[in-house]
Structure 1
Amino acid sequence: MRTPLLLLMWLCFWCEVRSALRTTGGLRRTGWEHTGMAGSALSLRRSKRGWMWNQFFLLEEYTGNDNQYVGKLHSDKDREDGTIRYVLTGEGAGTIFVIDEKSGDLHATRRLDREEKASYTLSAKAVDKLTGRDLEGPSQFTIKIHDINDNEPKFTKDPYIASVQEMADVGTFVVQVTATDADDATYGNSAKVVYSILQGQPYFSVEPETGIIRTALPNMNREVREHYQVVIQAKDMAGQMGGLSGTTTVNITLLDINNNPPRFPQGVYQFSVPESLEPGSTVGLLKATDADTGKNAEMEYTIMDDQDMFQTSTNRVTQEGVITLRKPLDYEKRKTYTLRVQVENVYLDPRFHSRDAFRDTATVKVMVEDVNEPPVFKRPAYIMEVKENAEPGTIIGSVSAVDPDANRNIVKYLIDWRTDMDHVFNIYPNNGSVYISRLLDREEQAWHNISVQATENNSLMSHVPVYVRVLDVNDNAPTFDNVDEAFVCENAKAGQRIQTVSASDADQPTGGHRFFFSLAPEASVNANFTVRDNKVTEETSTKRPNN
């Protein structure tokens, strides 16, 4: 019910009116008299002329059934015999305000709201009913709508969104809330707002006069609780009983700071990789945990030992440590590696911990798995020699390969037929001895390039090149380079040179043979011609010009 509140407002209203009367000297103007105050029996009687008009006061939000009495306009020329008529003009005249033209009583016809319009300016005059002559000229006065506390405070936002760093000191500013009251701030406490916190203690507090929200609890930890919902009340009448109130919600988020170090969930990690793993491949992933978020949770991983075999990097999306291989593995040489991996935050906050406190280490064991590898030849390539007159079946050399695995399986050998389409060579499968299958001719082909395969369990295979050099034997007779007819003049002298002949041999050394020239036995019968040996090598003789 509003009755106690209205009674309180009336008491305040009367106090103000009485004060106004004492300071302004009344509500009368020359020839006029104002008696009564909005439902009161107060009356003023003129003792002399020359009083000034003052304001009429009318309480807003009148709830009565009849028109609300404002006051009385009276001329000292009115002898109350019905000869004077009162006329009202100005703001709201005839609609909001009406005057009894006989008595001068002024009423408001409807409920008024100060927040819509705080005052009205009107004029009144007294007119002789018979002649229509103005007995009192128009005089202006004001009706002021007197405020009551009928508006609750309203916040400018609902909800408010705010944030503050975790671990902030007590009293740290968070946000300021503001509520406004449409009531008259110049009168009483109707618009005097006081703030209080209804929900959110003991974490936050609010300053009653300013609406500033501050932290109230030390060491608030985002990792324990991140979001808070605070309810703030604004109450008018300076917070006194009977005042109106409004509320708003403030959603506060604690912002992360780097107050948590990264930690490995376990002390030892183990990964198994095949010895055939290629350098650059991933060995395993490590993931440290950090209760912080965003930039404060970024980590860096470092291998503290065996950096020549392994290295680490950080996946910036997942914050995982990626261990990769740098060099080839060999199960037969080393079967396990033990690494010490360190993780630390990239960005540190020196307010909370030293750099050492923001590090953690874990042991990583890398187990190398044996892979069934193909046989390995003892040499990268083989060179063999054989004379061209060697008999088929002659062994010209041997190759050797072993199984690199621990079980040392037996290795078998064979010639890759694609490199020996004519089947010139063959090999003993158990010992790798290479032999020829047919006669060779150095003058036909001096080198043969073949490939030998080594297999293990008829599955894994490796190859090695074998270069066979065919050595020369003297199996070719010299041949004349030119067979020409020779001509001689009939008057030629004895000993005159008729022709020079040269010869060559397909055997080695090319261009380095020493030939001996003579007449064939069947030609020696004819004593008219002789052959003289120049005693030069094959190379020299072939370069001598013909004569």
Structure 2
Amino acid sequence: MVVMRFILVKLSGQLQESCYSLNITVTNGQGLSTSRTVIINIININDQSPYFTITKTVFRIKEEEKIGTIVTTITAVDPDGEFFSNSLRYSITAPQGIPYFSINPDNGVIQVARRIDRDIGPLNQHPNISLEIHVEDSPSNGRSNSTTVVISTEDINDHPPECQRYTYREQFSETISIGTVIVDLKNVCWDHDAVAPNNLFNFTGLSGVGSYKFAQNPPGSGRIELVGNVDLENETGGAEKDYILNIVVQDIVWPFYRNNIYIFVRILPVNEFEPVFSSPSYVFNASEILAVMSKIGTVTATDEDIPSTGISYSIVDGGGTLDYSEIFWIDPEEGTVQIVAQLDYEITKRYLLTIQASDNEHKTQTAQVTVNVLEANDEKPVCSPSSHLLEVPVDLTPGTNINGLYISCVDRDSSPRSFRYSINSGNVNNHFTFSPSAGSGISRLILVSPFDYERGLDTVWEYRLEVFITDDNLLSVENSSTALVQTGTVTLTVKVIPNPTTVVPTTPGVTLVTSRENVYVVSAWYVPFIICLGILLLLGLLGYLTFLLARYIRTHCQPKPKQDKKPLIKTREKKRVKKEEVWEMTNVNTVFDGEARDPVTGHLYEFNSKSGARRWKNTNVPPESEAKDPVAQPIIVGNNSNSDGKFGVQSIAMKESMSDLSNFQPQGEYE
């Protein structure tokens, strides 16, 4: 036996082949030999760690790159051979704990995994991100290696300048001095970009309504000052009260982000001037007969303040009498003077008023107003007494003063010489007149013509005279712009006394009959409407109550149930069978191939499994005879009594049709 041992001398580097074939020949001393082939397979084992082939370890990427953007590719090889190199797996560890990047485990491609914001968070102070890259040549228990790469994030100008506010509302009085700072924007704006020049900005443009009165000092600083006059009363300053300014805060590098800032400046007026009346004094004339609330004049005051603060008027002195504390009233807004009580020339002929004009900030000015009361014929003649009862004989001589009557009248604002006397009504046939008829304060009643009752010219025996005393105000016409007429009245009742021989005609009586009838008034349309509506509502309510009552009776009062005469079980009437009655029926070729026992009677019956025909099995006939003759014998049904007094049933009669036979069921009891 020859034993051979193979010794591995040296395997260094990478073998060119993984399988070797050796041809071995063995020779003995007699010159005999034999040959064999030995195949040696070299098995590669994982005994080497992979290593990285990259030479650059610092990479740059701009912030806000899209997720999935490729940063770089990390490559490594395994000395153990291509098989292990192809199975390398990559992983990544972020020391900061924020997974901004991910690596493809198969090919080592590093990509952006989340949003990178250079301006906030830890990247603001530390923009470099260190990544520890791991490579392993086997999924489990393999050999691995690590390296560190640095990714530097670069800042871009991705933020516009921001300010605490983008709208400012400032108020200043019109006495503000030139050079006053309206607003300073430099310290209230900023830019979130991390580094310069991305975070640098300035203020450009100053426009808007009235912007020429404002300027930046120094330019671009956002420090806005007043450079024009804003005095509202000064013509050169204009009458603007509100200014709208627009200024832009903008980056100094591309893409030049910007924001607009609006500044609203309101100039508040200052009450610098007192009200001034158009005249230091006013004179108004008012007739004593003016109606209450009549206007007698208007005072006017102005205020040089712009805009006007508003002027209100009031009466601070005068305008009262012993009877009325206030006779005049002035409209606080319009300055119109009105009378609130009746004027009387005979009591007060002149009023002196002090009217005050004041603005909303209590600056005041006064003016004197004189009101002259003009006399007017506003008094009626007053006669005493105002009524008289007179009796005169029927034959009184014309021209006689009746009963010596005279009326005496006075007038507070008219002379008696202006009086005129007239009979307004009741002077039938003009029997009466006054003398004198005008120009005196005393006048007498005179009979002008005699009474004539005998010929029927007079029929009235009692005269009711309505006397008018009218003043023409002849004296006041010279002193007044109006000459009015006032009338007083006196009532005279004159009864004519007939002579004893005079026949007094009787006046036929008059009966007044007043009839009333119901007449529809259009304005009372609502009366029948309300009545009809009430009737309809009442009928609806009664119908609804009737419905509720019927439903209640139907629900709670059940009707008495009727007696059910229908039997619960329908009994079959027994048909009386005539004696000696014979039915014959021959079934041709009917084969009863089944046999069963009736559960009621206990007797056997035969049946056809196809047609369902049945018959009682005759126990007196041997089964062999039925087998020989399968045709059914004539069936006899009747009241044939046998020796024991019982009815023997030969068979059951067939029904008229096969369908009846199929539905036939044995019923009743049979013996």
Instruction: Give TM-score, length-normalised by structure 1.
Output: 0.50
> What TM-score, normalized to structure 2?
0.42
Query: RCO greater where, 1 or 2, for CA within 8 Å and sep 6 or more?
Result: 1
